[in-house]
Amino acid sequence: MSMLRGFLILVLFFILGESMRVLLALPVSGGVLGMVAITFTLMVKGSVSDDLALASQGLISVLVLLIMPGVVGVFFTADQFSGQWLAVAVALLAGTFLSVLTTLVLMKLVTAGGVEHDE
């Protein structure tokens, strides 16, 4: 029952995001808006409920499935990239490097070792 409550919270934030997208005619995915809303809610609350943590951990194990539609899309449009292999390779390498660098900087800021405490 605990995992169901967690999924209900996630679905409600997804619906909230979709509602904001439709009502405000935003060119952003409802899922992204829902993630932003749940992030701000958890920041204000200061903690994550056990129900939400349990449901989220279950989803993380299948996170790779979210990547599959993009991979399939590239597979079916590969002929369009045939003359652009260098640009695609540079974009993939630069994007990977920047995402790892951003993750590193954010982790240093969030963890206790990266934040200066005045005592």
Residue 71 lies in a domain: no
Whether 11 and 55 map to the same domain: the answer is: yes
pTM above 0.75, yes or no: no
Residue 33 lies in a domain: yes
Whether 61 and 92 map to the same domain: the answer is: no
Residue-wise pLDDT for 51-94, tens only, equals 998 888 888 878 777 777 767 777 777 777 778 888 888 988 99
Q: Which domain holds residue 118?
A: 77-119
Question: Domain end: 44, 66, 88, which one?
Answer: 66
Secondary structure (H, E, C), the chain: CHHHHHHHHHHHHHHHHHHHHHHHCCCCCHHHHHHHHHHHHHHHHCCCCHHHHHHHHHHHCCHHHHCHHHHHHHHHCHHHHCCCHHHHHHHHHHHHHHHHHHHHHHHHHHCHHHCCCCC
Whether 82 and 112 map to the same domain: the answer is: yes
